[in-house]
């Protein structure tokens, strides 16, 4: 069983004996991700001199992504692909999607490349998948107009409620919005 944090990564030279010749093999290996066990196929490199086993840099990145997605599926969290799909529906960049939810600028990018999101962040991204829910969680810091303008490009699901929003910036800087909702 390999703990993800303790994965040995080969950077051209064996850290045990300094050897630089490796044999490549595909094997089935067990991994531990935050207490959950997963078995996946991996490509290992075996030092020809001392037989220590390594992963290449690229393989370790791939393994991490596969394991994180398996973990997310098992724990009912959105996978990287699902997060990309939600964001794509709204035509938002990673940074804009993150800002719209009040996350740090790099947060969405991290989740899309594999990092495991906390449950609270997961719920917010799921809410963003429903148009009605998204209205409630839009981060006011960047101004509603900003995100509403972005959203005009995205298609609205006909099976959901549709609405018109009119926003006005008052002289004191506050933004007031009126919302008209109708069920399709």
Residues that bind Zn ion (CB under 5 A): 14, 16-17, 19, 47, 49-50, 52
Q: What is the dihedral of CA 90, 120, 145, 147, to 10 degrees?
A: -20
Instruction: Give the CA count within 13 Å in the CB-facing half-sphere of 119.
Output: 2
Nearer to Zn ion, 57 or 85 (CB): 57
Residues near 20 by Cβ (< 8 Å), separated by ≥ 6? Answer: 12, 13, 14
Q: Looking at beta carbons only, is 20 or 113 nearer to Zn ion?
A: 20
CB of 5 to Zn ion, least distance (A): 22
Dist. CA 164–CA 156, nearest whole Å? 12
Contact by Cβ (8 Å): 142, 99: yes
Strands (E), 115-158: none
**By C-beta, is 18 or 104 nearer to Zn ion?**
18
Q: Which is nearer to Zn ion, 51 or 74 (CB)?
A: 51
Shortest CB 31 distance to Zn ion, Å: 22
* Least distance from Zn ion to the Cβ atom of residue 21, Å: 9
**Shortest Å, Cβ 67 to Zn ion:** 25
């Amino acid at each position: 069983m390999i703990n993800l944090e303790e994965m040995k990564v080969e950077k051209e030279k064996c850290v045990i004996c300094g050897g630089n010749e490796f044999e490549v093999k595909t094997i089935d290996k067990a991994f531990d991700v935050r207490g959950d066990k997963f078995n996946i196929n991996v490509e290992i490199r075996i030092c020809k001199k001392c037989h220590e086993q390594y992963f290449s840099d690229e393989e370790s990145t791939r393994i991490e992504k596969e394991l994180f997605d398996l973990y997310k599926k098992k724990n009912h969290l959105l996978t990287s692909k699902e997060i990309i799909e939600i964001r794509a529906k709204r035509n938002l960049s990673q940074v804009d999607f993150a800002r719209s939810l009040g996350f740090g600028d790099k947060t969405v990018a991290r989740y899309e490349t594999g990092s495991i999101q906390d449950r609270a962040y997961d719920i917010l991204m799921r809410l963003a998948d429903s148009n009605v829910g998204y209205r409630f969680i839009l981060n006011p810091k960047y101004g509603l107009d900003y995100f509403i303008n972005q959203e005009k490009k995205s298609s609205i699901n006909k099976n959901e409620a549709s609405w018109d929003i009119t926003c006005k910036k008052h002289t004191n800087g506050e933004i007031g919005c009126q919302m008209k909702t109708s069920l399709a």
